[in-house]
């Protein structure tokens, strides 16, 4: 049985499982879990992991990726940051750091294996889960998630409960140009679904 909600939340906030690994990255940072659990949220954003700016702010998606994601969703900042309605649970709760070349490190698997299911068990009101990027898609969809492009193209087969999305990073601007159907076909449906839930 999952521990009480506040107890679980406190345990995650104080997690130090990756402290040694993070100290050995190019950023040499300490763990700082950034997540929003909510027993009342109807929308769950399952992302990848906080970036450096989010690590500093302590608030999820306070970066250009967040701006693009809010645009995709058709929501204001006030709506997005309403914890009673939207939960944010990345595949890793902490910024993984950069490697020696300055590239993002992948989210540590131990985070999801330690905390994810217990956290999800406390969010029984979720009606829509946004799977943002390949890591979230593979965890939630298993073998149904081949690669991001293929998975997002098959979004109709997962909706209305699940909506797979590419990562909203600026690095995916080229992907968006190559796949115009994402903005013309998927986003209007996503925005209408979110509007109905909020």
Whole-structure pTM value: 0.94
Task: Label residues 136-148 b or e (16+ Cβ within 10 Å = b).
Answer: bbbbbbeeebeeb
The pLDDT profile of the chain, 198 residues, written as one tens digit per residue, is: 555 888 999 999 999 999 999 999 988 999 999 999 999 999 999 999 999 999 999 999 999 999 999 999 999 999 999 999 999 999 999 999 988 888 889 999 999 999 999 999 999 999 999 999 999 999 999 999 989 999 999 999 999 999 999 999 988 999 999 999 999 999 999 999 999 999
For helices 64-73 and 187-197, the axis angle rounded to 10 degrees is 80
In the chain, the domains with their CATH numbers are 5-197 (3.40.470.10)
């Amino acid at each position: 049985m999952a521990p009480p909600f506040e107890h679980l939340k406190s345990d995650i906030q104080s997690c130090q499982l990756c402290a040694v690994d993070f100290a050995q990255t190019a950023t040499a940072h300490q763990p700082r879990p950034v997540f929003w659990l909510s027993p009342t949220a109807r929308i769950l954003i399952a992302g990848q992991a906080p970036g450096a700016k989010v690590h500093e702010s302590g608030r999820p998606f306070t970066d250009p990726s967040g701006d693009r994601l809010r645009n995709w969703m058709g929501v204001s900042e006030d709506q997005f940051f309403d914890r009673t309605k939207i939960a944010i649970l990345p595949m890793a709760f902490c910024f993984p750091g950069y490697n020696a070349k300055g590239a993002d490190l992948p989210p540590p698997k131990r985070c999801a294996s330690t905390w994810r299911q217990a956290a999800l068990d406390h969010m029984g009101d979720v009606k829509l889960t946004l799977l943002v990027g390949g890591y979230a898609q593979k965890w939630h969809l298993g073998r149904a998630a081949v690669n991001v492009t293929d998975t997002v193209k098959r979004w109709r087969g997962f909706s209305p409960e699940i909506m797979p999305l590419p990562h909203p990073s600026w690095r995916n601007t080229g992907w968006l140009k190559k796949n115009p159907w994402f903005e013309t076909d998927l986003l209007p449906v996503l925005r209408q679904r979110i509007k109905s839930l909020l």
